[in-house]
Amino acid sequence: MASEAKYWDEQNLDTSRHFCALGSFEPSISAKKFVGHLVEEQRPLRGNILEVGCGIGRNGIWLMEQGFDVICVDFSKVAINAVEKRAKALDIKANLKNFDISRQWPVNKGSQDYVLDFMTSFLLTLPKLKVYLQEVSRVLKPDGRLVLYTLDRSQDTQAQKLLRERPGPVSEPNTYVMPGMGHLERALTEKEIPQYYAPFKLESCELIPRPTRFGNEIFDKYYWFAVLKK
Ligand SMILES: C[S@@+](CC[C@H](N)C(=O)[O-])C[C@H]1O[C@@H](n2cnc3c(N)ncnc32)[C@H](O)[C@@H]1O
């Protein structure tokens, strides 16, 4: 874990990465979609959220400001320190946890209404994803939801090309090795989401076109915003 967390420390410091623009704490489309979804479903805009892989906290802090009780989790100390600094500047008391989501979580059973997983568990290998899903299920309340924002491969031609040209190991289908970085990423179709995230059941799923910058290039990428129930 230490070396993986260190790798993400470096990524979280790199301001050229689209997902961790240090200095920009604008919430992502996924966080705004999450709140929009609750409004549409007429669910209360409050509750306990655990955000896995919170990065520098652009979403977690915004959700705290909207009135949610949020636990921000990341195994990167750089990320957690950035959230802490930002929360302090805003005079917000943040609940931060520095642990690896592919091991047992130091979080109470049945304590969370939502686990938000924005661009995080697509990085986990299948054995790690299995432990992760057991822990998500354990910490969620009986009617809790896992909310995913993750990579598509049905429309996303960049993901399709990477899957063809830089496939991950045979034991990790639908993954590729991210160029210039070196970690594995999984890209799924809508049908595969409930297969990979079983026993969670897909409640809703929306494909979101979103041009995304990698270094100096912009790609026409597509992402899934999916809500899954226990
Ligand atoms: C692609 S970034 C997404 C950041 C954030 N969710 C966002 O949308 O801005 C992935 C984040 O997950 C964290 N991460 C990756 N694997 C993890 C693991 N096994 N346990 C905890 N955090 C992890 C990384 O440190 C990084 O901050």
Q: What sign does the CA torsion over 124, 130, 136, 138 have?
A: negative
Q: How far apart are CA 158 and CA 214, in angstroms?
A: 11
Instruction: List beta partners, residue 150.
Output: 224
Protein residue with least CA distance to atom 12, ligand 1: 53
CA of 42 to the centre of ligand 1 (A): 29
CA of 43 to the centre of ligand 1 (A): 27
Instruction: Give 26's DSSP letter.
Output: P
Chain mean position to CA 141? 19
**Look-up of token digits 């993400």:** 8
Atom of ligand 1 nearest to the CA of 51: 6
Helix 77-89 to helix 58-65 angle (10° resolution) is: 30
Q: How many CB atoms lie within 10 A of CB 154?
A: 15
Atom of ligand 1 nearest to the CA of 5: 25
The answer to whether 226 and 150 are in contact (CB under 8 A) is yes
Ligand 1 — pocket residues by CB below 6 A?
A: 8, 12, 19-20, 28, 53-55, 58, 74-76, 79, 100-102, 118-120, 123
pLDDT at 1: 53
CATH fold label, 2-152+188-229: Rossmann fold (3.40.50)
One-letter amino acid for residue 164 of the chain: R
Protein residue with least CA distance to atom 13, ligand 1: 53
Token code pair at residue 39: 């409004």
Whole-prediction pTM: 0.95
pLDDT at 18: 44
Atom of ligand 1 nearest to the CA of 149: 8
Of the residues 18, 63, 120, which should be mutated to test ligand 1's pocket, given the most ligand atoms within 8 Å of the CB? Answer: 120
Buried b (16+ CB within 10 A) or exposed e, 82-99: bbeebbeeeeeebebbeb
Per residue of the chain (230 residues), what is the pLDDT tens digit? 568 999 898 888 776 554 544 446 789 999 999 999 999 999 999 999 999 999 989 999 999 999 999 999 999 999 999 999 999 999 999 999 999 999 999 999 999 999 999 999 999 999 999 999 999 999 999 999 999 999 999 999 999 999 999 999 999 999 999 988 889 999 999 999 999 999 999 999 999 999 887 777 889 999 999 999 99
Q: How far apart are CA 6 and CA 213, in angstroms?
A: 23
pLDDT at 21: 43
Q: Domains of the chain: which residue ranges?
A: 2-152+188-229
Protein residue with least CA distance to atom 11, ligand 1: 53
